[in-house]
Amino acid sequence: IIGRHPEVSNFVLATGFSGHGMMHAAATGSGVSDLIAYGEYRSVDLSAFRYERIAGNQPIEEHVY
């Protein structure tokens, strides 16, 4: 889960990386710093990982052909 909490606007989440935290740290840090500084993602779009998507049970569907 990455992004602002829907009820606490000054609380930013960046959680749930399991064993992949170091691999995703640079992109996550860049996106989260954009969100804090500019109010939007500029360098990398992390909106697919927002809290509302998880709470609303909207899975990311991957297709393998």
pTM summary value: 0.78
- Assess if residue 18 is contained within a domain: yes
For residue 11, being part of any structural domain is answered with yes
Task: Specify if 25 maps to a domain.
Answer: yes
Residue 62 lies in a domain: no
- pLDDT band of residue 64 (cuts 50, 70, 90) is confident
Q: What is the pLDDT of residue 63?
A: 83
Taking alpha carbons only, the member of 29, 65, 63 closest to residue 46 is 29
Q: Is pLDDT of 65 > 90? A: no
Which residues constitute the domain of residue 27?
A: 2-55
Give the count of domains, the chain.
Answer: 1
Could you give the dihedral angle defined by the CA atoms of residues 37, 15, 29 and 47, in that order, rounded to the nearest 10 degrees?
A: -60
